[in-house]
Structures are given as C-alpha cells and as structure tokens.
Chain A
Amino acid sequence: MGLRLDIVTPERELFTGEVDTVLVPGAEGQLGILPQHAPLITVLDEGVLTARRGAESLAFAIHGGYMQVLSDHVIVLADVAEQAEEIDVERAEEARRRAEELLKKQPPPEEQRAAMAALQRSLVRLRVARRQRPYRPEREPES
C-alpha cells in the first residue's frame, strides 16, 4: 500500500502520483512519511523533498509551505516548488555565487537577510538538480 503524493503551488499542480515514502524538510527538521502515518499538519522549511517509488527517487525543491497527511494521502502546499528537470543549474550556480559575494561584503542586515535567502534557495535548487539519479540504497540521503 503506497502513499498518494500531491504537490501543489499557487501557480500550478506540480506533481500527483503514487509513491512509497516521502522525506520532507519540516520546520523542525527532516520528516519521513511512510504509509499509515498519523494525521499531521506541519509547516515546511526551504529544502529538498524526496519521494521514492520502487528503485526510483524523485526530488523536488520546496521553498516554504505546509503539508497535510491524512490516511495515506500527502498534500504538500508549497509556496514555490520545482522539479529537478526544471532547474537551470547554471542560473542557480550564478545565483549562489552572487549571493556569496554579497555576503562577503558584510552588507546591512536587511540585505544580508535577502542574500541569505537567495543563497539558501540556490543551494536547494542545486542539490535537487544533482540528486536526480537512480536511488542507491547504500548511500545515506544527505540532509
């Protein structure tokens, strides 16, 4: 018995389908969802959502939002979400460099926060883009 996973953002329905397990970036740490999970509503952090279906591993970049789990149905309401194939690695790399350079210059707190957020976003994107490969059980998923 698998899980049904829906990932929706205000702009579109990104993913819907059957998976075996889901690993999400919860606000209070990584959170693994298996079938028969207790009903749960939680806030999500910026991070990588990984879903496994057989030997396949799907990765999504999630930029904030919340998740609802009810009777083997996982609904992720993300503010912004991307699939690995959609991510432009070069652009993300570029954004990371820009943010890092900005942070080195010790900007005022306001800008620093914005740069930190940009850095975080680009890192999540890069991680998702590089992660899209067949699932190998001997490797621990990085968190």
Chain B
Amino acid sequence: METLREIRRHIRSIGNLSQVTKALEAVSASKVQKAQAAVLATRPYAHRAWELIVNIACVRGEKFHSLLTHREPVHSVLIVLFTSDRGLCGAYNQNIIRATTDYVEQLGVPVSYIAVGRRGRDVIWRMQADLVAEFHGLPAVPSFVDVSAIARTAIEEFLQERADAIFLAYTDFINLMRQQPVIKRLLPLTPSRLEEQAVSEYVVDMQPLGVAEYIYEPGKAEIMNAVLPRFTELQVYQATLEASASEHAARRMAMRNATDNAEELLRDLTLMRNKARQQAITSELLDIAGGAEALEQALQAAR
C-alpha cells in the first residue's frame, strides 16, 4: 500500500499525462482531416491524367511505353514501404510491416526496399534487406514536390531494370476506426488490365472514351514521357497522404485509449487517496484519544 503522499504524487503525474495525451489526440484528429482533404483534392487530377494515358495508350498499333510494359518473368521486386517516423500510434507500423513481409514471402523473388518513414527503415535494417533509399521527416500533409523524389527513385530503379515490378505498401485510410494495410502495384502500369489494376480505384466513374483523332504536340512519345512519370508520382503522393491519414488516425486512437486509461487510473487512485486519508485521520484521532485517556489515568493515579 502506497502512502498518502505517494498516492498524491501519482495522481498529479497521471493528471499531467492525461492532459498530454488529450492534446496529442486533438492534434492527430486535425491532421487526419487535413490529409484526408488532400487525398480528395488529388482525385480530379488523377482522373484526368489517367484518361489522357488511356487515350494515348489505347491507340492501336502503338508500342507501349516502357513504364507500361510488363516484364515476364519478374526477377526482382522493389517495395516502397510507408511507415511513420515516430511511435505512439498503436499497431500502425506492425500491421503494414507484417502485411509486407507476408507478401514478400509469397513472392519468392529478391526484394529491395525504399523506406518512407524511420520505423520501416529500422525494420529493413534489422532484416538486413536491400535498402535502395530512405525518406523521412515528411510533414503531415506533404506537398507534391516533397514526394516526387520518392517516385523518381522508383522509376529510375524500374527503368534501369534493377526491379521488374514496383509495389507500394501503405495503409489505406477507411475511417477513423479502421485502416487497412494494402499492397498495390505502382509499375508497370497496364491499361489493358484496368480492372485488377491499382489505378482502377481512381477511375471508377470513368466514361467509355469517345474516339477522337488528337493532334499531338510535340509527339505521342514525348507526351507519354511527360505524363507517365507524373502519374506515377501522383500515385506515390496519394499513397503518402493515405498513409499519413492512417498514421494520425491510429495515433488518435492510441491517444484516446491512453486518455481513457489515465482517467480510469485517476478514479482508482482518488478512491485510494481518500481511503488513505480517512485512515490517517482515524488513526490520528485514535492516537489523540488514546493519549488523552493515558493522561487521564496518569493524573488519577497521581492523586
């Protein structure tokens, strides 16, 4: 049993703690919203860019751009793993890392990684896997420019044929309570297999394309060279935002649990404090009463 003074100190520290977790919860909640809004804002561009790609790529007799071309068999795979920089976000990082390692086991080909976020990087180091590049310190709502370097690194690996396929491993934001780890193909993009493609999510409401004879300036190849890398960057950008929204949702959840626990603990401790206080008062009263009694007896004996 703690002494009264210890209990009081404990209550104070738990009280401070719950204030901190409450503040963190509020901060995370606002970051989730911002990241979510940013994801939604990318949709119109994604939609239009994909339309453009399909338009150009579907022209019959055209050779596919190398970013659209499948390589068979796949000899090596690159995974872009999105994790958080910091902890305090529940099982967020464990979930996506487990999903990734499970996926890698199935693949059965050599895998290299690009790590976005310190936590994932540390895990990749511990596994002694091949780490191509790492990025960290991104803001909660990164700008497009912040993440384009990630995509450029991935495209470079693909074009240099160091990887035959590139996947994004990140956590999809479903709602504040649920976030789903997903593994999606980034490259090659294949318009002919639209339905099973990662990109299909962005183009669900796309109308069948009207046939139009476009003038291409400067030329189809040049336009594809400009559009495809940009579209790839966009997908990485969307994944980054989804991951950021999920991270903060997970952190908000973890902080809410921590606040709830702290409050429960506070209730128990307050009860304990009151008991201890009453006990102290009772024993003090007994002491005084006992002392008075003893004094009385001593006086009577002296008379």
List the interface of chain A (C-beta within 8 A of B): 6, 8-13, 26-28, 38-43, 65-66, 68, 70-71, 75, 77, 79-80
Contact = CB atoms under 8 A, between A and B. Distances in A.
Interface string B216-252: 1110001100110010011001000000000000000
Contacts, number: 82
Contact of B41 (A6, A11, A42): A11
Contacts of A27: 217-218, 222
B45 A8 contact: yes
B38 interface: yes
Interface of B: 38, 41-42, 44-46, 48-49, 51-52, 55-56, 143-145, 210, 212-218, 222-223, 226-227, 230, 233-234, 237
Contact of A28 (B38, B46, B144, B218): B218
A26 to B, nearest CB: 7
A112 B52 CA distance: 34
B226 A66 contact: yes
B47 to A, nearest CB: 9
Contact of A8 (B48, B226, B233, B237): B48
A121 to B, nearest CB: 12
A77 B217 contact: no
A103 B230 CA distance: 29
Q: Shortest 7 CB-CB distances between A and B: which pairs?
A: A42-B217, A39-B212, A10-B144, A8-B45, A39-B214, A40-B215, A12-B41
A11 B217 contact: no
Contacts of B230: 10, 65, 77, 79
Contact of B217 (A9, A13, A40, A75): A40
B42 A11 contact: yes
A43 B48 contact: no
Nearest to B51: A68
B237 A43 contact: no
B45 A9 contact: yes
Contact of B212 (A26, A70, A75): A70
B25 to A, nearest CB: 27
A10 B145 CA distance: 10
A41 B223 contact: yes
A66 B224 CA distance: 10
B217 A43 contact: yes
Contacts of B38: 11
A40 B226 contact: no
B212 to A, nearest CB: 4
A42 B223 contact: yes
Nearest to B217: A42
Contact of A10 (B51, B55, B210, B233): B233
A38 B214 CA distance: 7
Contact of B44 (A13, A28, A41): A13
6 contacts: A10-B42, A40-B216, A40-B217, A43-B223, A66-B226, A66-B227
Given A68-B48, A68-B52, A10 B237 contact: yes
Contact of A11 (B52, B55, B144, B210): B144
A41 B52 contact: yes
Contact of B223 (A6, A10, A66, A79): A66
B217 A41 contact: yes
A9 B52 CA distance: 14
A39 B51 CA distance: 14
A42 B210 CA distance: 19
A80 B237 CA distance: 14
A116 to B, nearest CB: 18
